[in-house]
Copies of this chain bind each other. A is one copy, B any other.
Amino acid sequence: MRQAILDLEESKIREVANAGMGRADVLPFWFGESDEVTPEPVRAAAVAALQAGETFYSHNLGLPELRQALAGYTSALHGPIGPERIAVTSGGVNALMLAMQMLIDAGDEVLAVTPVWPNLTAQPLILGARLRCLALKPQPDGAWTLDLPALLAAITPTTRLLVINSPNNPTGWTLSKAEQQAIVARCRETGTWILADEVYERLYFRDDTANGAAPSFLDVSGPDDRLVVVQSFSKAFLMTGWRLGYLVMPAAMTQPLGKLIEFNTSCAPVFVQRAAAVALAQTDTITPRIVAHLRQCRDTLVPLLQALPGVQTSPAPGGMYAFLRIDGFADSLQLAKCLVLEAGVGLAPGVAFAPQAEGWLRWCFASKDVARLTQGVERVRAWLAAQVR
């Protein structure tokens, strides 16, 4: 077995979850997933396809009608994008892996902005890349910010690929349009590809964009820029378990990417794609409701957390996480395990996302029942009070 694979970190989120798994008294906020089932009309579309016998292989790049619908959906948000720039993948993480296989030779330099979902930094290591990380910085109020000049300086002609996730999991940090413009300009100078994980774009709460979504690299790039944007049906359509994503790329990349899909998973199931098509067609009823509810979740959770003694956190402009630290607790993995076992609250340890996030905790606030969040905070409050005693 390859040393590079043996050396990959086990998920520290799973480590905490495993400690609490099967305990009925734990409120789980550790995974990046709503606890709400996929909307019924979406499920019904898959059921209909199965009953109609759509159980055969399909196009590598996705059903033509789904790619067409995705082009329409993406164009409505970000201006004209044709279906020839879109491929359907077996989940957002699969789209990221395909893009990396397309762009990274062993030994290439990859630069990632962290803290970030650990999959984004593991994939370059699987492919034998040299990984460099540039860390966001926490402010006294608990918000994380980018040192843009430091990032621009870190991008050099030897940087093959920049990996960036905004709105960011776990910090909620979100790139501004001006920052994206500066990054695109720098990458044009250096010949660096940008791999933008924008799966949280619709979960955006700032009300400062015309389309309501977070700023996207698609808004500030041309069709031939070295840019791949990864998207997923998981977040904006409550479809985590369906494993369906897509990517937007330069048209010249689509045909070779189809080869990589053939050699990785061949295609996504047709009945899953039929469900996705219905989700897209009903996005105007499905997604605004999800986003409004998540805003309510965030605006319930964050003030309660901020009112706890010694807690720093800031309302995330995007995503579905509160990222917080508590004075006096430096070891986030140990703290998360204590909170599971002693307080019955399941959070993800910050160190899972970057060494710089040690001491922090990620709380997924995508809870169908907002009272679960209140109840969780109350448990943490009581636990903290017991520690002081």
A interface vs B, CB < 8 Å?
Answer: 1-2, 4-6, 8, 10-11, 31, 33, 37-38, 43, 46-47, 50-51, 53-58, 90-91, 93-94, 97, 101-107, 119, 122-123, 126-128, 238-243, 252-253, 255-256, 259-260, 262-272
Contact = CB atoms under 8 A, between A and B. Distances in A.
Given A2-B103, A55-B238, A265 B263 contact: no
A259 B47 contact: no
Contacts of A103: 1-2
A265 B265 contact: yes
Contacts of A243: 90, 265-269
In the A-B complex, list the 5 residue pairs whose CB atoms are closest, starting with the nearest. A106-B106, A37-B53, A38-B55, A56-B241, A55-B241
A261 to B, nearest CB: 10
Contacts of A272: 269
A225 B123 CA distance: 28
Contact of A105 (B46, B57, B128): B128
B55 A242 contact: yes
10 contacts: A4-B105, A5-B259, A5-B260, A8-B256, A10-B259, A11-B262, A55-B241, A90-B94, A106-B106, A264-B264
Contacts of A239: 55
A90 B101 CA distance: 18
A51 B56 contact: no
A121 to B, nearest CB: 10
B266 A91 contact: yes
- Among A2, A31, A253, chain B packs the most CB atoms within 10 A around the CB of A2
Contacts of A266: 91, 93, 243
Contacts of A97: 263-264
B267 A2 contact: no
- Among A53, A90, A255, chain B packs the most CB atoms within 10 A around the CB of A90
A231 B54 CA distance: 22
A268 B93 CA distance: 12
Given A50-B47, A119-B262, A265-B90, A57 B240 contact: yes
Nearest to A123: B263
Given A262-B11, A264-B97, A264-B264, A269 B256 contact: no
Contacts of A122: 259, 262-263
